[in-house]
Amino acid sequence: MIVVCGAGGFIGGHLVNSLLTRGEQVKAVDIKPFGSWYQINDKADNIQSDLGLRETCLEVLAGARHVYNLAADMGGIGFIEENKAQCMLNVLINTHLLLASQYHNVERYFFASSACVYAASKQDKQIAIALKEEDAYPAMPEDGYGWEKLFGERMCRHFAEDFGIATRVARFHNIYGPYGAFHGGREKAPAAICRKVIEAKLTGQSYLEIWGDGNQTRSFTYIDDCIHGIDLLMNSDVSEPINVGSSETVTINQLVDIIEKIACTKLERRYQLSAPTGVAGRTSDNTRIKQYFNWEPSMPLVQGLERTYAWVLGEMSMVTGGVNPSSSIL
């Protein structure tokens, strides 16, 4: 049996579906009420429970062969910067899951880390330097969320060394795609800008608000590439943290350009210079993942955004048409 923790989240929902498609028996666990899961598949054993509690982790991991930990209280840069303590409390989830994995002799354990672990001094220029795995040290990660992820990585390393659990760690770089948050404060930039452009078109608004000056650079990784990267890593002998991220880098202004073109519109840009923006520049160095797997995330940003925009438009059209979208029932 495979246990997916954080199954009601964006990546978790896609992962559950992928595992079920391959014929795996899946237990899907999340703290959110079922109606708030981004996707819910009735072929899985779906459980609503708090993985921050040790007794819960001991219960849900009974009989598990593999465990995927994607559970975290997190969101976009606005949420991360305003909820540092809340993000740090995610260490309870990873700690208790690792202890339960040790107790139940779990064979393999996957931890979803983040590019937020990388040293801020490597990301202070808008012309982004591609981040190599070793750039996480000397440690100076993003405050709160980044420290929690870096600590989680070290926990995995030491549980592997001391207790023999085969741990695998992926550092995600801005995962996006359909069936994710696009409003409410937890959304990432691609979905947020899709929503803002659609809102402008639906209401006749002539402008778009952008956090920062729009020159900050990022790479964005489509969800299908993310799931494939997880699968490659989990079924390998690679025990060190590995980047799972696109190396296609754009400024936020260029991201807006692409989405405006998809939407066949052009909007005035109003820059919110006091809004949270995160680091100046961040992108993924994929040398190591290519060495190990002869593969790297390859979905062109334009194609991924076309799919994401179409999904967000469909969800928002249901709202404006008087229908409230709910989680996808598969």
- Domains of the chain, first to last: 2-176+222-244 (3.40.50.720), 189-218+248-283+299-329 (3.90.25.10)
Phi, psi at 25, each rounded to 5°? -90, 120
Is 292 part of the annotated catalytic residue set?
no
Active-site choice (109, 145, 222, 309)? 145
Element (H, E) at 158: helix 145-163
The structure tokens 């014929």 sit at: 23
Q: What is the pLDDT of residue 278?
A: 82
pLDDT tens-digit readout, 57-88: 999 999 999 999 999 887 777 787 778 888 88
- Give the pair of three-digit tokens for residue 169: 């760690």
**Which residue numbers in the chain have pLDDT < 70?**
319-330
Phi, psi at 113, each rounded to 5°? -95, -165
Q: What is the pLDDT of residue 183?
A: 85
Distance CA 102, CA 114 (A): 24
Q: What is the pLDDT of residue 320?
A: 58
Q: State pTM to two decimals.
A: 0.92
